[in-house]
A and B are shown apart, each in its own frame.
Chain A
Amino acid sequence: MFAQAEPLLRQEKLLIIYFVAILLFITVFSVVFVIAFQRRKNKFLIERLENQQKFENELAKSQIEIQEQIFKNIAWELHDNIGQLLSVVNIQLNMLLDKTPEEHHEQIKETKNLVSETVQEVRNLSKVLNNDVVLKNGLLNSLHLEIVRFNKLNFLEAQCQVTGDIVPIKSSNEIIIFRIVQEFLSNIIKHAKAKKLIVLLNYKDNSLEITAKDDGVGFDISKITQNSGMETMKSRAGLLKADFSIISKPGKGTSLYLNYPYGN
Chain B
Amino acid sequence: MFTAIFIHILEWLAFFTGIFYYKKSKSRPAFYLVCFLGITVFVETLGLYTIFVYNGFLEGLQGTLLEKNFWLYNIYSIVSYLFYISFFKWFLVSPRAVRVMNLLTAIFVIVSLADNLFSGGYFYGFMPITHIVGTLFVFMSIAFYYLQLLQGNQILEIRKSIPFYVSVGALIFHLCSTPLFIYSSYFKNSIDPGFVSLYIPIIFIVNLILYSIYIIGFLICSHKQNPYYGKKNY
Min CB–CB distance A231 → chain B (angstroms) = 38
Whether B182 and A25, one on each chain, are in contact in the complex, defined by CB atoms closer than 8 angstroms, is no
A85 within 8 A of B: no
What sequence of 0s and 1s flags, for each residue 120-140 of chain B, a beta carbon within 8 Å of any chain A beta carbon?
A: 000000001100100110011
Min CB–CB distance B213 → chain A (angstroms) = 20
Interface residues on chain B, number (Cβ under 8 Å): 19
Known: A14-B182, A15-B179, A36-B150. A29 touches B143 (CB 8 A): yes
Known: A21-B136, A36-B150. A14 touches B143 (CB 8 A): no
Which residues of A are interface residues toward B (Cβ below 8 A)? 10-11, 14-15, 17-19, 21-22, 25-26, 29, 32-33, 36-37, 40
Which of B140, B151, B186 meets A40, CB within 8 Å?
B151
Q: A15: which B residues are within 8 A, CB to CB?
A: 179, 182-183
- 171-186 of chain B: CB within 8 A of chain A: 175, 178-179, 182-183, 185-186
Task: Classify the secondary structure of A's interface with B.
Answer: helix
A29 CA / B136 CA spacing, docked (Å):
12
Whether A25 and B150, one on each chain, are in contact in the complex, defined by CB atoms closer than 8 angstroms, is no
A32 CA / B175 CA spacing, docked (Å):
20
Instruction: Jot down 12 A-B pairs with beta carbons below 8 A, ordered by A.
Output: A14-B128, A15-B179, A18-B132, A18-B135, A18-B182, A22-B135, A22-B139, A25-B139, A29-B143, A33-B146, A33-B150, A37-B150
A15 CA / B195 CA spacing, docked (Å):
15
B147 within 8 A of A: yes
A26 CA / B151 CA spacing, docked (Å):
20
A36 CA / B97 CA spacing, docked (Å):
15
Q: B178: which A residues are within 8 A, CB to CB?
A: 18
Known: A15-B179, A33-B150. A25 touches B136 (CB 8 A): yes
A38 CA / B140 CA spacing, docked (Å):
20
Those 5 A-B pairs whose CB atoms lie nearest each other, nearest first: A29-B143, A14-B128, A18-B132, A36-B150, A11-B182
Whether A25 and B143, one on each chain, are in contact in the complex, defined by CB atoms closer than 8 angstroms, is yes
Q: B182: which A residues are within 8 A, CB to CB?
A: 11, 14-15, 18
Min CB–CB distance B75 → chain A (angstroms) = 21
Known: A22-B139, A22-B175, A25-B140. A14 touches B147 (CB 8 A): no
Min CB–CB distance A71 → chain B (angstroms) = 44
A19 CA / B139 CA spacing, docked (Å):
13
Min CB–CB distance B81 → chain A (angstroms) = 14
Q: B150: which A residues are within 8 A, CB to CB?
A: 33, 36-37, 40
A17 CA / B140 CA spacing, docked (Å):
17
Which residues of B are interface residues toward A (Cβ below 8 A)? 128-129, 132, 135-136, 139-140, 143, 146-147, 150-151, 175, 178-179, 182-183, 185-186
Q: A33: which B residues are within 8 A, CB to CB?
A: 143, 146-147, 150
Which of B128, B136, B186 meets A22, CB within 8 Å?
B136
Whether B132 and A36, one on each chain, are in contact in the complex, defined by CB atoms closer than 8 angstroms, is no
Q: B143: which A residues are within 8 A, CB to CB?
A: 25, 29, 32-33
Closest A residue to B186 by CB, please name it. Answer: A11
Closest A residue to B143 by CB, please name it. Answer: A29
Whether A14 and B175, one on each chain, are in contact in the complex, defined by CB atoms closer than 8 angstroms, is no
Min CB–CB distance A28 → chain B (angstroms) = 8
Q: B129: which A residues are within 8 A, CB to CB?
A: 14
Q: B175: which A residues are within 8 A, CB to CB?
A: 22
Known: A22-B139, A22-B175. A11 touches B183 (CB 8 A): yes
Min CB–CB distance B15 → chain A (angstroms) = 29
Closest B residue to A37 by CB, please name it. Answer: B150
A10 CA / B150 CA spacing, docked (Å):
40
Min CB–CB distance A22 → chain B (angstroms) = 7
A39 CA / B175 CA spacing, docked (Å):
29
Q: B186: which A residues are within 8 A, CB to CB?
A: 11
Min CB–CB distance A21 → chain B (angstroms) = 6
Which of B132, B146, B151 meets A14, CB within 8 Å?
B132
Min CB–CB distance B155 → chain A (angstroms) = 9
Q: A21: which B residues are within 8 A, CB to CB?
A: 132, 136
Q: B147: which A residues are within 8 A, CB to CB?
A: 32-33, 36
Q: A14: which B residues are within 8 A, CB to CB?
A: 128-129, 132, 182
Q: A10: which B residues are within 8 A, CB to CB?
A: 128
Q: Besides the contacts A25-B139, A29-B139, what 12 more A-B pairs have beta carbons closer than 8 Å? A: A11-B183, A11-B186, A14-B129, A17-B132, A18-B135, A21-B132, A21-B136, A22-B136, A22-B139, A36-B150, A40-B150, A40-B151
Among B129, B140, B143, B175, find the residue whose CB has the most chain A CB atoms closer than 10 A.
B143
Whether B140 and A18, one on each chain, are in contact in the complex, defined by CB atoms closer than 8 angstroms, is no
Among B136, B185, B186, find the residue whose CB has the most chain A CB atoms closer than 10 A.
B136
